[in-house]
Amino acid sequence: MFSGVLAKVRPHDPSRGRSPVCHDKRDACLPKFSIIVPVFNEALLIQPFLRHLRERAPEAEIIVADGGSSDGTVELATGFCDQLVKSERNRATQMNSGACVAHGEFLWFVHVDAELPLRCLDEIACMMNDSKVVGGYFRIRLPRRFIYRLTDSFAHYAGILLRMRCGDHGIFCRRTAFLDIGGFPKVPLMEDVEFFRQLYRSGRVTYSDKRILVSPRRYEAIGRTRLTLAYGFIATLYIFGFPLAKLASIYKRMCCHHT
């Protein structure tokens, strides 16, 4: 069962370019795509990102899933999304809460610090035309520095080999597949990888060569080389079956700020 409380619903604005959700004949005009954006204290990014999202995906239902922000993120998001849900601070719980209220046939989970490619919904729709495809993802692009080229290239090819993808890749899936899997598992770390592997087992998973531009803000804050090596180290331990609780502890020591 998914947790989460519906907090806000934005009335449809015809100027936004998408059809309103019907109340009398709901099945006839539900949005085909629902985009779920998990956030926590993202006041600086939330409005610019939601404007960008509306521009790149005007037909989609946009759902912000807040994890208890205290910096005004919720107030800033209100009016810029179709629904806003609140839950505890846990990315899996937040994404499940957003999916629980979504109306779309396809669910797309994206991060607030990403830049999406042009015609992204057309790209997903094309891939999902194959009934055997249960979901997919996009390739990522970090800024033009050698360490970032190493990171996004390694993430792609190692991910194919090991059947691993993280949330930066913009994982999307059919609603039916999401429900069959049971949503994102509530684990201390790598809930997106765990979900992706379950998705992979449930049917065909594909990807687009179009890139999601990923913000380097964590790399700049923690250190480019340090974070790249830390991610690789944690991924290696994960492959060899280290408990997620221990990986979460390692992640906290290596990849988070200490005050």
Q: What does the alpha-carbon distance between residue 147 and residue 166 come to, in Å, rounded to a whole number? A: 18
- Higher pLDDT pick, 71 / 222: 71
In eight-state DSSP terms, residue 30 is -
| Strand arrangement of the beta sheet that strand 5-9 belongs to | 5-9, 83-86, 61-66, 33-39, 106-109, 172-174, 133-141, 204-214, 114-115
**Which residues have a Cβ under 8 Å from the Cβ of 76 and sit 6 or more positions away?**
43, 46, 47
Beta pairing partners, 140: 212
Contact between residue 63 and residue 34 where contact means Cβ atoms under 8 Å apart = yes
Specify the pLDDT at position 257: 60
Question: Given a cut of 60, is residue 122 above it in pLDDT?
Answer: yes
Q: What band does 8 get if pLDDT is binned at 50, 70 and 90?
A: very low
Q: What pTM was computed for the model?
A: 0.84
| CB-based burial label for 180 (10 Å; 0-12, 13-18, 19+) | middle
- Higher pLDDT pick, 47 / 164: 47
Specify the pLDDT at position 49: 98
CA dihedral 48, 210, 104, 175 (to 10 degrees): -130
> Quick one: tokens of 191?
């809930």
Specify the pLDDT at position 147: 65
* CA–CA–CA angle 227, 232, 233 (5° rounding): 95
One-letter identity of residue 63? I
145-159, 164-178, 183-197: which has the minimum mean pLDDT? 145-159
* CA–CA–CA angle 70, 259, 49 (5° rounding): 40
26-30, 81-85, 96-100: which has the minimum mean pLDDT? 26-30
Nearest to 184 by CA among 88, 96, 244, 245: 96
Nearest to 112 by CA among 91, 88, 135, 128: 91
* 204-214 and 114-115 strand pairing: antiparallel
> Quick one: tokens of 132?
């055997």
Beta pairing partners, 137: 207
In eight-state DSSP terms, residue 216 is -
3-class secondary-structure state, position 229: helix
One-letter identity of residue 81? C
